[in-house]
Each structure stands twice: as structure tokens, then as C-alpha cells.
Amino acid sequence: MRTLVTGGAGFVGSHIVEALLTAGHEVLVVDNLATGSRSNLAPQAQFRLVDITNRDELRAAFAEYRPEVVLHQAAQTLVAASTSDPIRDSEINVVGTLNMLEAAGQAGVRKIIFASSGGTVYGNPERQPVVETEPLRPISPYGVSKVAGEHYIRVLCERLGMVYTNLRYGNVYGPRDIPASQHVITAFLHAIDRGSQPVIEWDGEQSKDYVYAADVAQANLLALNLGDDESFNIGSGSEISVNSIFKLICRLAGVEVDPIRAPKRSGDVRRFTLDCTRADRLLNWRPATSFQDGLRATVDFYLGTKAVHAATS
């Protein structure tokens, strides 16, 4: 199958590209390399240096390649950045998504798989674990942009003769993330690797649903042929606090360090756990990686021999 992955040179996108190639699909990656890297990509993946906000270049890339399925991962992903500059956030996440939809419709794409955000589109839900029918009440501009993306995809896919699947990710972690993402696990490991003090914002008792990147990639792979015109939570179905994650990382890394305490990050939610029953039933997807195994692999990736030594000493 001919697939196109926007943002495919980034953290989550590169894991999706890897899964697609392993399954025997053709892949074109469209990325501006603002946060991604060519080094994340296998040589079998084709690559075009294109920004999704560049309407003409995006249409040209789609028209030349003519994919059957588009996996739209490219986005501005920082909640704090969306709060400080919501216009820029919407230019990338809303207008960029509209550019993608236009290009896909003109190129005869069959399906769009959209990376939404289970951690932000629901806001502070009244019930946990959160099911897909929970009202979408985001409390950050980033969450608003993801909700808008879902609605534009639903409305325009019907008009343009395409189907879609929205995947609402939990907090994704794993190899190839970068410190600029401000994801807590990556931030902790980056600080430890530099010999500096990790920062814990709020009181550290905020508790979230964490899902391993390879499991997210598998959900995208299954959505190529399943889950048409549906939205799915993609998470672990459980939650763990930031303080607990910090203790586990220190143990795996073999370090003892006191964190710096910082104020609450704007737009952060107190807790969320995703109910993934629908993904199990309709996508035949469930997380295959336990948090302990995924965290150990992530620590090994970032700290290498330091972590291995700590685990065996």
C-alpha cells in the first residue's frame, strides 16, 4: 500500500514509518525537520522536505506520489507554546491540517489517519477512565486545535469522498523523542544524562496515561484497513504519577538526585486515563508493552551503558 506520513521524521512519526516498512508498505515522509531528523528514517522510506503550512508544495508532493492512505502526524505539540502563541498553533495544527485534506482530496486519497490527543481533547473529564463519547472540552489552545482537526477531518472527508480514523493518543514515550518536546520522561532522562537536576512541575501527583511509541505505531498500522469513520483512545488504560515515574527512572538509571520543584504548567490537566475498549473491539488493538518494560527500553536508549551498568550493579 502506498502511504504518506506527515511528520514522519519525528518521534512518533518515525515509529509509524518503521512499522509500515516492516509490514511491506511503501512510505513517503513529508516533514519540515523542525523537530524531526532524517537520521530517524530507514533508507527505504522516501522523503520530501515540505512544511504542511506550505499549501502549494504540499499539494505538489501529494499529486506526485498519490498515496492511498495518509497518516497525519505533523503538528505543533506543546501545550505551553499553544498558550503563549495560539495563532501559530492554529496555523500549524488547523490550517496545516486543512492543507493536508485539500491535497489528499485532489490526489485521490482513500483514507486519513489523524493523530489526535487523548490527553487534551477531553479537558478535565468528570469520569475516569475516559471513553470516546465523553464531551470534548479542551482547556488549552493545543487541545482546541486537535478538536478542530477532528471536526474538519470528519466534515471534509465526507465531502471529498474519503474515510478517516482519529487516534486519540495518551502520553506517548519511547526512543527518539527530543528534549524540546517537554515530555516528562524524556526531560528527566535528558537532565540525568547531563548531570543536572530534573524538574517536576506542579506537585508531581498529576497522573496520566502513558503509552509506548511502538504500540502507537501498531494502532496506526491496524487503522489502515479498520476503524473507518471512528475515533479511538490509544493508551494503556492505566495511570501513573510524575513522582512515581521519577522514582522509577532514578532506580533504572542508578542515580540519586533531588528534583527541582516548579509551578504548574499552563493548560495541564490533573489526571486522565483512557478507556481503550473500543480500540480493542474494532481495531483489534491493545497495548503490548508494559510501562515497566517500555520505560526500561527508553532509559537504555537515552542513557545506554549507564543504564545497563545501573541495572546490573
Q: Which residues are catalytic?
A: 142
Cα angle 147, 242, 175; round to 5: 75
Place of cell 510501562: 291
| Dist CA 104 CA 51 (whole Å) | 15
**Are 145 and 90 within 8 A, CB to CB?**
yes
| Dist CA 137 CA 131 (whole Å) | 13
**Are 140 and 80 within 8 A, CB to CB?**
no
Q: What are phi and psi of 291, to 5 degrees?
A: -60, -40
CA 241, 244, 245, 246 torsion: positive or negative?
positive
| Dist CA 157 CA 147 (whole Å) | 15
Helix (H, G, I), strand (E, B) or coil at 209: coil
| Dist CA 157 CA 155 (whole Å) | 6
In this structure, the strands spanning 240-241 and 69-72 are: unpaired
- How far from 171 is each of 107, 197, 266, CA to CA, in Å? 32, 22, 17
Residue of 48, 154, 141, 33 lying closest to 97 (CA atoms) = 154
The per-residue DSSP string of 150-175 comes to HHHHHHHHHHHT-EEEEEEE-EEE-T
